[in-house]
Structure 1
Amino acid sequence: MPPALTRALQRWPRPTRRGVAAAAAGVIVAVTGYLLTSLPLVFAGVALVVLVAASVVAVGIRVPALTIARRFSPDRAVAGWSVVESLVISAPASSSPVAVRVRETVAWRVMADDEAVVATIPPGGGARVVFDHDDLPRGRHRIGPARVDVVESFGLARRSVQIEGRSELVVFPEVVAVGHGRESRSLGDGARQRRDHSLAGGQDDPITREYRQGDAMRRVHWRATARQGELMVRQEEQHGLPSARVVLPVTRANWRDAHPALGSGLPVSDGFEWAVSMAASIAIEYGLAGSQTRVTSLEGDTIALHDPSTTPLFLELLSDIALDDVVDERSPEPTPREPVIALVSSLAPAELDELGRSRGPGVGGVAIVVHLDTDPLTPDDVARDSPREVAAALRQSGWRVIESDSSADRARVLLMDGVLGG
């Protein structure tokens, strides 16, 4: 049966398991009474079947107008961690007590029937149900609508309804803190002086300004827009800050473990998620040392820019990036002595040349080459764009290469020579 037809049938009123059992019992009693020529038994059996049928009709005709309110704790989640969702479902004062079974619609998986939470809503009141969402995937997720089974008062019939209304849950990439940035002097005294000036109350450049014709919509700062009542865009550049650059390929061909995500079908990759977390961690550590970090695509376009005053916005931008996204904000040319850290896996020969252009004059660069679970184990199966070959080619091009895998301890990799300016 097609899924659309199955969902449509599920919205029709139908007996519960108790209702099915009651109807079956009624049929048995009625048949037994007929065979024994006992009119009271026949009447009792028929009455039981009619009661179930009437319950189905009643729940199909009369469903109270339910409303819903959601809260997440914390309101900004972290990839791989958990979040608690609280739902308050309210019924109008004119209704009778309503028994419900509640399931939520989430983007990253299908919630099973046995995960539904049972509650009773008093007239004019509300019932609170709680869901724990574990092992969250990074991204900006729409939660809802809630799927609710309204159960008739005798528990004999139910009807599935959707309570409209969706909420947004932003899941940040996980940031691994090693504390190196707070003590680092590798970016120069100017960085430390600028950071101290900021902490002492110095005036930084504003991070938002009014929208101007030609500004990319991906630069819109929605929180500032809501606060100001007019469209605002990010203005993240802070003059005088030393800078670092992190290169992060965002094409699925560069991550050979990419596969369609459950539910959305969009490409996802464990290796790419590990690299996004590393990019966030590197940028935060450089920020603690008073530096700004630009995360760019392989082609040199800016994915996100971090400085010591824009961490939440930076993490939100990294939450949004997905494989095969179009990134069209051109970055400035790399500068001399600007550290470059590349987070790569599979690269074609032309892409290796493109990666080389991310380094400024006299900059060697550090390449963290990520080996994936799908990589071949035997040398005969190694392709030219495999991580093993990419690492060898980058060494020949003057990069300092660190080989890792997508399940490695990120803190250990962060503390290796060169990653954080060492």
Structure 2
Amino acid sequence: MRTAFGGLTTRGRSFLAAGGAAAVCAYVLGQPDLLRVGLLLAVLPLVCVVVLHRTRHRVAGSRQLSPDRVPAHSESRVCLRIDNVSRLPTGLLMLQDRVPYVLGPRPRFVLDRVEPAGAREVSYRVRSDLRGRFPLGPLQLRLTDPFGMCELTRSFSQYDTLTVVPRTEPLPPGRLIGHNEGFGDGRQRALALAGDDDVVPRGYRHGDDLRRVHWRSTARHGELMVRREEQPQRPRCTVLLDTRRDAYAGSGPDSPFEWAVSGAASTCLHLLERGYAVRLLTDTGALTPGPDSGADAPADGLGGGFGGVASATGGLLLDTLAVVEHSTEESLERAYEALRTSTNGREGLLIAFLGELDEEQTSLVARMRRQAGRAVAFCAQPELVQDTDAVAYEQGGPSEQTATRPDAPGTGPDVPAAGLAGGTVPVLREAGWLALPGGPGVALTTLWQESTTGSTAKGLGQ
């Protein structure tokens, strides 16, 4: 009852105050008729509180997200359903769903009388420019009396989670410079030569399928032998994401860090579609998927979209990148140790999205080149675009300096890279990396095209 009286609206409190004032005036002035009016004014909100408190609405609420994983800057539709599971009709219902402020204002709906066993559906849209995981709910049901004297709020316990993943862009198909594994007809021929099942007999073990018994080997060895199933090995790739706070300047959807996260997500999805076993590595040493996740197992429909394990891996990588934040690490040493001890070794491809690097970190990244068969680095440096635009503006038009922009026409091997990224890009290129400077305003598709067509491949230690 204390909660019910706390739900008195402004109208209900005004009636109580007016009734009390009328009763005092009637006593002072000796007007019994005014006392009756005062009692009516004071009793009406009290009766509404008692009736509303004793009213038991048996309603069920549900929520459906379509979709529940959405890229940043995109909308998701939320559908609410209210079912009246009692034998009595409901009164006026007001719905309010709790929504984080980054998704927009809280949606409110007014539902008229819901008949017994009836249902009502309402929907609204949410949109976020920031990635992350945002809880939706619980759904709040506000009950009110016909006179508007009292309002009570009842909350459901169920809530759902909307995952806002980084924006991705389709990358152009092609073969990375110097890397033949995983692309083109050569890989298809390798799979055809390997086959889906090489006949490598071994001794029978408990639980083996009897249909795999190799009778010729059984007769030769004098014991039961079965054929060993060997699947062709998938090409592997490690995507390194530098999340150090000191490596990036600024914040927000258009910051260099968000550009690197979006680039890592686009790269992961692109390589998964090409049949790679992709892993995400951060400067903290965290590896996703983990070494025991079975992500290296073959997936259905390799090279033709997601299927099986590839689909699950893509969702896991996107969910991880949706919540990745800046780390407090000052060095990439832990990432180097994780890469050195991982099973990828020199068999795989290493693609790194890096922030600003000092001399020590540049040397450390250069040593990472030895741990992979091929290494590509995208350096997120926002000052590249800003500086070149400023030079062009001051001179009143295009100039030689504007050609140093990575996505500008004329960018090629003859353009000096030292002015673009200080000493980072030249050192990485001398170590064997295919290093490309980028950042906000530079399309990843352009950089990816350069890494596959070789427009900046000259003199990169290949």
Q: Using a 3 Å threshold, how does the CA distance of structure 1 residues 315 and 362 change in structure 2: closer, same or farther?
A: closer
The question of whether the paired residues in 1 share the 8 Å contact of 2:425 and 2:436 is answered with: no
**Secondary structure, counterpart of 2:260 in structure 1:** helix
Of 236, 239, 244, which aligns to 1:246?
Answer: 239
The question of whether the paired residues in 2 share the 8 Å contact of 1:13 and 1:160 is answered with: no
Larger mean CA deviation between 147-156 and 176-185 belongs to 176-185
Match in the other structure for 1:99: 92
Displacement of 1:196 in angstroms is 9.5
Matched residue type, 1:355: V
TM-score where L is the length of structure 2: 0.61
Match in the other structure for 1:277: 262
1:58 correspondence with 2:51: yes
Matched residue type, 2:320: D
Displacement of 1:66 in angstroms is 3.6
The question of whether the paired residues in 2 share the 8 Å contact of 1:91 and 1:124 is answered with: yes
Matched residue type, 2:428: S
Match in the other structure for 2:378: 368
1:323 correspondence with 2:319: no
User: In 2, distance between residues paired with 1:126 and 1:287?
Assistant: 43
TM-score where L is the length of structure 1: 0.66
The question of whether the paired residues in 2 share the 8 Å contact of 1:12 and 1:60 is answered with: no
1:78-122 CA distance string (max 9 Å, x none):
232111111112333145414333222345648656x32222444
Matched residue type, 1:295: L
The question of whether the paired residues in 2 share the 8 Å contact of 1:182 and 1:285 is answered with: no
Q: Using a 3 Å threshold, how does the CA distance of structure 1 residues 192 and 56 change in structure 2: closer, same or farther?
A: farther
Trace 1:287-366 onto structure 2 (pairs within 5 A). Answer: 287-298=272-283, 301-304=286-289, 308=302, 309=307, 310-318=309-317, 319-321=319-321, 322-323=324-325, 331-335=342-346, 338-360=348-370, 365-366=375-376
The question of whether the paired residues in 2 share the 8 Å contact of 1:298 and 1:355 is answered with: no
User: In 1, distance between residues paired with 2:349 and 2:196?
Assistant: 26
Of 56, 66, 80, which aligns to 1:87?
Answer: 80
**Secondary structure, counterpart of 1:133 in structure 2:** strand
Unaligned runs of 5+ in 1: 1-8, 204-236, 260-267, 378-387
Displacement of 1:183 in angstroms is 12
Of 143, 146, 151, which aligns to 2:139?
Answer: 146
The question of whether the paired residues in 1 share the 8 Å contact of 2:362 and 2:428 is answered with: no
Q: Using a 3 Å threshold, how does the CA distance of structure 1 residues 255 and 189 change in structure 2: closer, same or farther?
A: same
**Secondary structure, counterpart of 1:147 in structure 2:** strand
**Secondary structure, counterpart of 1:246 in structure 2:** strand
Match in the other structure for 1:189: 185
The question of whether the paired residues in 1 share the 8 Å contact of 2:377 and 2:434 is answered with: yes
Match in the other structure for 1:286: 271
Question: Sequence identity, in percent?
Answer: 21
Trace 1:63-78 onto structure 2 (pairs within 5 A). Answer: 63-78=56-71
1:296-343 CA distance string (max 9 Å, x none):
22366532468744443233222134226899896324426x543211
**Secondary structure, counterpart of 1:130 in structure 2:** strand
Displacement of 1:390 in angstroms is 6.6
Larger proportion of helix: 2
1:162-184 CA distance string (max 9 Å, x none):
21112233333332114425999
Q: Using a 3 Å threshold, how does the CA distance of structure 1 residues 63 and 312 change in structure 2: closer, same or farther?
A: farther
Instruction: Name the Cα RMSD after superposition.
Output: 4.7
**Secondary structure, counterpart of 1:83 in structure 2:** strand
The question of whether the paired residues in 2 share the 8 Å contact of 1:68 and 1:88 is answered with: yes
Matched residue type, 1:340: L
User: In 2, distance between residues paired with 1:129 and 1:297?
Assistant: 42
Match in the other structure for 1:117: 109
The question of whether the paired residues in 1 share the 8 Å contact of 2:239 and 2:279 is answered with: yes
Count of paired positions? 359
The question of whether the paired residues in 2 share the 8 Å contact of 1:80 and 1:134 is answered with: yes
